[in-house]
Chain A
């Protein structure tokens, strides 16, 4: 079987397995391992597996995930998430869909610390989901806004993926961070507008609460100031260079843990419950990461991504069409691969192609602009049906919401994404303006 046929067969089998209730991580592992063994040989596969699982779980940059999940568990146990949402409700709750907007703002702020969409969605979901459900938000809007909000994290610096892109495309990390700022803010604002439009059409999905008075708002703030302080410490600490993301997560988990003990009455049995909750969510995410990594290794063996890229390069299309084709490919690949592996796989091939095309701006600007577009599109892949990792993760936490409903919930955000991608493509200055200002 040719490489590309093997790769496409792998994709097809993966889709079938996922359709018949095989857990997503297991399906990816099964196809990845099976494909690897059939295409490359069982000897190499068995040798590869001797240590690959260990090293996959023993990765510094991924250790941020269980720590942030633990922080969310503590924040929930401390009753702080409820207090936080009471505060959010005090300020935004009188609007229709106000808590969904607050979730998006929270995701954007949180993602700025964390840099992982899955971890952002999982952590904010831990805190925000029960609260939105308590305020009678529909499953669609609650899970949709969190899944979409999770994708904001990766754009707002410091972002691991932007660093990765900068490294691979030989661009300055600082410039990549600056370039991501306006698109990141645009994304958050676009999502909030999407919520507003969604609830104006379906008012029962995100009901407006009572309007709080200013004294009430201050009381609510007083209940949450310690948690806000911890979040501020985590965020400012990262920007001021006090911690790495993992360290910020550890500090945040520690702080919320102390709060849970002092304010939430956390005792040994509660602590063990927090740890078990962390265990479930972390294991679920890491099984998916392991599956994606394995499937990715198989795809690389078949050279499918490279052959697809080669076909694009030889097609003699206009630069804009090549760009659109690449972005489309990202959207499709985004269904099954985690963003990081996908970029790792494709950027080394794509960026020389892009750098060689004439978009009417300097090479460096082209590469920065393409990087932001690629990261945005890869992130959109996390919430597109039929396979959207963020939707799976958030939906996994809302046991009573069917998957279809969650995908219905992300639809308005997807529309907002498509408009935003259009703006970023047509007006490169949106991405490059700040870079030129500070450069």
Chain B
């Protein structure tokens, strides 16, 4: 049976625990984003009313947005949210398309693994050098305690979607 062509990867079933973890990280990222939103609103209000924003509001936004985005990546991958070009592969059939999507997942898997490995080094160096944010002096490496698990989860998710696509290609 031919599957519908979309500009996203086709959905593949994932192990329940992995899907739940991706959902959990998306929720963490979402709550960080909500906190960032509330902090900014309070800061703007304080600035307007009292003439004094929350100290370090800019750097809190920078830290918060990094944590949120890293936490969002596995969820996006698990739900097939990344965009691809379906223009040239409309006639290649589901088997070939699943194989191609498995290749995309393999590339993403390698890249995510590489980035995670390098970020571990980067985080350790930041800790060693005591790099801090400017106003609140928050150690930069603290956010890496969320960033690195998120990258590990992204890597695992890419592996799972790749296996899912290979299975579907075999079945097609």
Which A residues are closer than 8 A to B by beta carbons? 17-27, 29-30, 33, 46, 49-51, 53-54, 57-60, 62-63, 66-67, 70, 242-243, 246-247, 250-251, 253-254, 257, 272, 274-276, 278-284, 286-288, 386-387, 392-393, 395-396, 399-404, 407
Contact = CB atoms under 8 A, between A and B. Distances in A.
A15 to B, nearest CB: 10
Contact of B100 (A21, A33, A280, A393): A21
B63 A58 contact: yes
B46 to A, nearest CB: 12
Contacts of A402: 5-7, 86, 90
Contact of A283 (B37, B44, B63, B69): B69
Contacts of A274: 30
Contact of A23 (B40, B72, B82): B82
A288 B69 CA distance: 12
Interface string B23-52: 100110111011011101101100010000
11 contacts: A19-B87, A21-B89, A53-B119, A58-B63, A70-B34, A254-B37, A272-B30, A276-B30, A280-B72, A288-B83, A392-B83
Contact of B82 (A19, A26, A279, A387): A26
Interface of B: 4-9, 23, 26-27, 29-31, 33-34, 36-38, 40-41, 43-44, 48, 58, 61-66, 68-73, 75-77, 79, 81-90, 97, 100-101, 103-104, 107-108, 111, 114-115, 118-119, 121-122, 125-126, 143-144, 147
Contacts, number: 210
Given A50-B121, A66-B69, A272 B107 contact: no
Contacts of A392: 7, 83, 85
A406 to B, nearest CB: 8
Contacts of B63: 58
A63 B65 CA distance: 6
Given A21-B104, A250-B40, A399-B8, A282 B72 contact: yes
B68 to A, nearest CB: 6
Nearest to B59: A60
B23 A276 contact: yes
A251 B69 contact: no
B8 A282 contact: no
A168 B44 CA distance: 30
Closest 6 CB pairs of A and B: A275-B30, A50-B122, A283-B76, A250-B40, A58-B66, A49-B118
Interface hub of A70, A274, A288 (most chain B Cβ within 10 A): A70
B109 to A, nearest CB: 10
A314 B77 CA distance: 47
A23 B104 contact: yes
Given A21-B86, A22-B104, A60-B58, A286 B69 contact: yes
A402 to B, nearest CB: 6
Contacts of A287: 73, 76, 82
B89 to A, nearest CB: 5
B118 to A, nearest CB: 4
